[in-house]
Homo-oligomer: A and B are copies of this chain.
Amino acid sequence: MTDIPKTMRAAVLYGEGDLRLVDDYPVPQPGPGEVLIRVAACAICGTDPKILAHGWPNHPPYGQFIFGHEYAGTVVAVGDGVTEFAPGDRVAVEPHKGCGVCANCRDGYYTTCLNYGRPEKGHRHYGFSTNGGYAEYACNHVNSVYKLPDGMPFEVATLITTAATSLYGIRRIGGLEAGETVVVSGPGPIGLMAVVMARLLGAGMVILTGTRPDRLAVGLRLGADVTIHAREENVVQRVMELTGGIGADAVIECAGTVQAAVDAVEMAKKNGRVALVGIYQEPAPLNINKVVQWNITVAGSKAEGERSMAQALALLARGAVDLSPLVTHTFPLSQIHAAFETAEKRLGGAIKVVVKP
């Protein structure tokens, strides 16, 4: 339909820390079951600076590797056999596409595909082991593409992956019953989105804990009822007080620290559930005797599994929540280095920084 050029502008990783803007990168061709997307916006995930600095296992060769996995745009061409999408469709993508053959994929758990990092088996991890979205065009298998509701801006659409990651954490602990007391620890983008998701799912009291007052304030705007400053108050004690000594029904741990994980167990009620959504650098000495005696469930959640993208999109589509506090900065692709610096150093109170190719 539209004129698709042969080459495109892209941010290409040439080595550790060596990200270069290139103007003549070949536009990829959609294979069978794939679509070609004109990327409108790609958000910087907390993992991206790490990829920039250190690469990723099984990444495409340096000099060809385009990362970025939280992107949205418009379908401009489709590969053989694609009936699910058509040029003109506004879409967001998810990073994981399973092999479809292993036991986990066949049971629906494609984010824990047993053929991770093996493209020859059909696995894709866009922006990690497969090229992603810091470019004018990107190819995605239809299993990783979701139609956007009318009126959802592309910048907001880049947040769907974040929302879906929070939502999958909630799903992994059996969802939320209406009225349950939920603690979200860690007011990063995933934590803040967990507040939004919990509110939209009918949670009762939503408590957000963290160490940065400005972020906690954003959490209040997004639906938290109470915030706890983790350095100024004893978080566990405060949650126990707020719950009449019983503890929280569900804790969504998004801070990614050992202390937060330890605390998560300590503040759960008898029969409570703890979702671990963070990235942890070391083992956490959990009080497993309490886990047993209080019949507690602790579940890790791998990314935006089990089509949480579709559910997150649906929850956000109604527009009941104003997500604008989350997208604090946007940059053109030509300023991607500034974008990364803003995101990494949280310049100007940066929460989510979006790059627009």
A contacts, CB < 8 Å to B: 33, 81, 83-84, 100-101, 103-104, 106-112, 114, 120-121, 142-143, 167, 172, 175, 177-180, 200-202, 204, 246, 261-262, 270-271, 276-302, 305-307, 310-315, 317
Contact = CB atoms under 8 A, between A and B. Distances in A.
A109 B271 contact: yes
Contacts of A104: 270-271
Contact of A285 (B121, B177, B283, B290): B283
Given A81-B120, A108-B107, A121-B81, A178 B283 contact: no
Given A201-B202, A280-B289, A295-B111, A142 B101 contact: yes
A262 B283 contact: yes
Contacts of A271: 104, 107, 109, 112
A262 to B, nearest CB: 7
Contacts of A81: 120-121
Please indicate which of the listed interface residues A111, A114, A299, A305 has the most CB atoms of chain B within 10 Å of its own CB: A299
A273 to B, nearest CB: 9
B202 A314 contact: yes
Given A175-B175, A285-B285, A291 B295 contact: no
Number of copies: 4
A110 B103 CA distance: 13
Given A172-B295, A200-B202, A282-B289, 6 more contacts: A84-B101, A107-B271, A112-B295, A114-B270, A285-B286, A293-B302
B109 A295 contact: yes
B246 A178 contact: no
Nearest to A120: B81
A275 to B, nearest CB: 9
A143 B103 CA distance: 9
Nearest to A33: B101
Contact of A298 (B280, B285, B298): B298
Contacts of A106: 108, 110, 143, 307
Contacts of A277: 292
A274 to B, nearest CB: 9
A33 B105 CA distance: 15
A83 to B, nearest CB: 8
Given A270-B114, A280-B292, A143 B302 contact: no
6 contacts: A83-B121, A112-B271, A175-B175, A276-B292, A284-B286, A292-B302
Contacts of A301: 292, 295
A294 B302 contact: yes
A294 B302 CA distance: 6
Please indicate which of the listed interface residues A81, A110, A178, A317 has the most CB atoms of chain B within 10 Å of its own CB: A178
Nearest to A111: B295
Nearest to A107: B108
Contacts of A167: 178
B172 A314 contact: no
B300 A179 contact: no
Nearest to A320: B320
B300 A292 contact: yes
B283 A179 contact: no
A177 B300 CA distance: 20
A262 B283 CA distance: 9
A172 B283 contact: no
